[in-house]
Amino acid sequence: MGALLGRELEGRLLNDGINSDFTHVSGETRTNIILHESSTGKQLSFNAQGPEVQPNELIQLVETIEALRTPEIVAIGGNLPQGVSPEIYRKIITTARNLKARTVLDVDGIGLKGGLQAQPNIIKPNIHELSDLVGRELEDLDEILEAARDINKRGVEIVLVSMGARGILLVNEGQEYLAVPPQHQVRNTIGAGDSSVAGFIFGLISGTSLHVALAYAAAAGTVIIQSQGTALCQKKDFEEILPQMKVEAVGISKKGSKGS
């Protein structure tokens, strides 16, 4: 993160009571421009190329992670900066495992394929990313379930699949749930996936069951979808919409519930 923008963000987070420890880089933080067409609700993204990360800056990041004290969860997301190999994801996941932390990997493309080799605890691809990962086009729920189960067999504990208006699917060995949000006007999709991951992590560290954590994920993402611009998910909005989430057993869980 560029030093000037990073320090400004650190100040804002501190003002909200959130501690941070950014690794500053010499390049400028990239700027993404999102155009929203009011008549159709469509969004057009212009994503700038990020700065090149220098070797010493990358080493500093890894050392910061290695110095974490008893972390519960390490979440990894975003695009690979210039000059950084996908191997960095495997390094971070392995480091977190050595610290007894669970890992959440929310990346795509070669980063997801490379990171998967280190067996993160949780991944959150969308349908297109999951299709790319398994090498075949996925459309209906049964196909998506089968692909997610294959990922479970590779050593990934939980696969969360975001499916847009169709909801978020959770596949864990023996537990498969689909969280479907209520129908709302889509005002914004930027940051919805990140908020869903944050909601799910909040559920995990709160000690809830997986299907409740999934409801948290769907609620946090839905708050962003209903918001204008780049608004953050606020606790009040989250708590208001959470009761509207519908979580149903599918696949293995549904068969189990019929037999019980």
By annotation, the residues acting in catalysis are 194
Q: Phi and psi dihedrals of 207, rounded to 5?
A: 85, 20
Give CA–CA dist 84/2, Å, rounded: 16
Q: Phi and psi dihedrals of 29, rounded to 5?
A: -60, 135
Residue with tokens 């990073």: 6
Residue 157 carries which DSSP code?
Answer: S
191: left (phi over 0), alpha (psi -120 to 50) or beta: left
How long is the chain? 260
192-205 vs 210-226: helix axis angle to the nearest 10? 150
Give CA–CA dist 56/248, Å, rounded: 48
CB-based contact 32:46 (threshold 8 Å): yes
